[in-house]
Amino acid sequence: MADYLPLLMFLVVCLVLLLGYPVAFSLAGTALAFAWLGDIGGYFDGAFLEALPNRLYGIMTNETLIAVPLFVFMGVTLERSRVAENLLDTMASLFGPVRGGLGISVTLVGMLMAASTGIIGATVVTMGLLSLPTMLRRNYDPGVATGTICASGTLGQIIPPSIILVLLGDVLSAAYQQAQLDMGSFAPDTVSVGDLFVGALIPGLMLVVFYILYLILVARFKPDAVPAIPKEEREAGDVPLWLRVVKVLLPPLMLIVAVLGSILGGLATPTEAASVGAVGALLLAASQRQLNLQTLGSIVRSTTLVTCMVFLIFIGASVFSLVFRGFGGDEMVSDLLTDLPGGVFGAVLVVMLVMFLLGFILDFIEITFVVVPIVGPILLAMGLDPVWLGVMIALNLQTSFLTPPFGFALFYLRGVAPAGVTTLDIYRGVMPFIVIQLLMLGLLAWQPELATWLPDLVYSGS
């Protein structure tokens, strides 16, 4: 019976979460309950929990995690400054003459918002509120419209500066060092958040290109599903289009270049770049005349709520992982993965499948803090590249969040979609984008250099 306690504890956590209890308390509460029962039955050594204060102190003093509230602040500020609304109007006018142009505009704006905010829920909801009524009014097929919004909204999962990449970078760094220590290397290499940011750039931009190619194919073979914007609507306003494009597109692009460029150029760490992004977002909001004391107070409150949620889940996950290891769960998982047929390929396939399914009931934060510390050292000890593994996990979770019937992005959009848009429309619309995601995952598995080449180039100085 004791051998199955780690698995039973994991299943109980999933059940408690499905009942609607808060994630952090579910993780910590379930773990402590099992630790108490295990201690009574003689299956658990309470000394494992003595490491908890050191873990919490490590969280408190981790400079990398300072990037989380800074990037959240940056994203919330941009969300309140009407950047997405202005971008969408301008891009629609720019691409309006071609069929599918509005869909392409939504994809590009979603990419820019992803690179500016990195917050999936905010991007999907914002794009749904701004673009879905417009697309439906212009006779876009509801499936194509909702699928495009969901897919472009989840780009914040993979396009830096993504919050999941910040969290993954920190967790994978610890997992990579543990894997090397387990292999007898006492001068371990490191992997940073900056490595993941750079590694995710090419796969993320490729996804955007594939999305646009799909919309072009829809325009070619189903032109009535993605009509062009009438000429009189595109030419509305006294300001020339080229000037509108420069005025609206330049500020967020400059912000993105400032954040990512400082990392790529070696001028700043991701944490320092996050502070640049936070200040830049404030300046951008001020230039849009959307910044006042009331708005700033709302931004700070939202940032505090999200940050508290992230760190409380981190603490709950730390308790869970300690108890899980106390029951021998890490050894059980290691034996399971190493004994699978297919070697490394079989192990990666099973882990990705489990994470994909967990993405139906857990958010990326829980999966990052709970699952990755357990399976990460085992997979990395098999010789996998940590940057490639991190990008694969981010892409896999992005696909999970798009997949019916439980994908988080679908719930976000369903909550703001007009009554005339059915849930079936949303499910039908995201299916082609799920295929694109799976193709991208397969391509990255086949050619790991898509994720590893650019970091090697940037950080080797070659």
Q: What is the residue whose two structure tokens read 């295990």?
A: 38
Coil, strand or helix: which one is 97? coil
Amino acid identity of residue 103, one-letter, is G
| pLDDT score at 391 | 93
Distance, in Å, from the CA atom of 197 to the CA atom of 260, rounded to the nearest integer, reads 8
The answer to whether position 289 is within a domain reads yes
Four-residue CA torsion sign, 201, 75, 277, 168: negative
| pLDDT score at 419 | 80
Distance, in Å, from the CA atom of 147 to the CA atom of 211, rounded to the nearest integer, reads 10
Distance, in Å, from the CA atom of 259 to the CA atom of 333, rounded to the nearest integer, reads 38
What phi-psi label fits residue 161: left (phi over 0), alpha (psi between -120 and 50 degrees) or beta? beta
Contacts of 65 (CB under 8 A, 6+ apart): 59, 166, 170, 311, 314
Amino acid identity of residue 368, one-letter, is T
| pLDDT score at 462 | 43
DSSP state of 19: T
> What backbone torsions phi and psi does residue 141 show, to the nearest 5 degrees?
-60, 130
Over the range 273-296, which residues count as b (16 or more CB within 10 Å of their CB) and which as e?
Answer: bbbbbbbbbbebbeebeebeeeee
Residue 15 has pLDDT above 90, yes or no: no
Residue 323 has pLDDT above 60, yes or no: yes
| pLDDT score at 236 | 55
Could you read off the pLDDT of 443-455 as tens digits, one per residue?
Answer: 999 999 999 998 8
The answer to whether position 188 is within a domain reads yes
Distance, in Å, from the CA atom of 13 to the CA atom of 19, rounded to the nearest integer, reads 10
| pLDDT score at 378 | 87
CA 403 to chain centre: 15
The answer to whether position 352 is within a domain reads no
The answer to whether position 34 is within a domain reads no
Q: What is the mean pLDDT of the chain?
A: 83
Residue 81 has pLDDT above 80, yes or no: no
| pLDDT score at 203 | 94
Could you read off the pLDDT of 115-135 as tens digits, one per residue?
Answer: 665 566 667 877 788 788 888
Residue 433 has pLDDT above 90, yes or no: yes
Half-sphere exposure for 84 (CA within 13 Å, toward CB): 28
> Which among 166, 200, 223 has a CA at the least distance from the CA of 444?
200
| pLDDT score at 22 | 81
| pLDDT score at 242 | 73
| pLDDT score at 443 | 95
Q: What long-range pairs does 12-15 form, CB within 8 A, spacing at least 24?
A: 13/320, 13/370, 14/358, 14/361, 14/362
The answer to whether position 411 is within a domain reads yes
The answer to whether position 189 is within a domain reads yes
User: For residue 361, with 0-12 CB atoms within 10 Å meaning exposed, 13-18 middle and 19 or more buried, which class applies?
Assistant: middle
Could you read off the pLDDT of 207-241 as tens digits, one per residue?
Answer: 999 999 999 999 999 988 888 877 666 555 566 77
Average pLDDT over residues 402-430: 84
Residue 331 has pLDDT above 60, yes or no: yes
> Which among 271, 272, 291 has a CA at the least distance from the CA of 281?
291
What tokens appear for 345 in the block?
A: 């390929």
CB atoms within 10 A of CB 223: 12
Could you read off the pLDDT of 33-55 as tens digits, one per residue?
Answer: 988 888 888 888 777 788 888 88
Q: What percent of the chain has pLDDT over 70?
A: 94
pTM: 0.84
Average pLDDT over residues 248-259: 83
Distance, in Å, from the CA atom of 94 to the CA atom of 91, rounded to the nearest integer, reads 5
Q: Which domain holds residue 107?
A: 65-308+392-460
CB atoms within 10 A of CB 457: 11
CA 452 to chain centre: 19
The total number of structural domains that make up the chain: 1
Distance, in Å, from the CA atom of 141 to the CA atom of 433, rounded to the nearest integer, reads 15
User: For residue 29, with 0-12 CB atoms within 10 Å meaning exposed, 13-18 middle and 19 or more buried, which class applies?
Assistant: middle
The answer to whether position 186 is within a domain reads yes
Q: What percent of the chain has pLDDT over 90?
A: 16
Average pLDDT over residues 262-275: 82
The answer to whether position 17 is within a domain reads no
What tokens appear for 198 in the block?
A: 């750079």
Distance, in Å, from the CA atom of 104 to the CA atom of 99, rounded to the nearest integer, reads 9
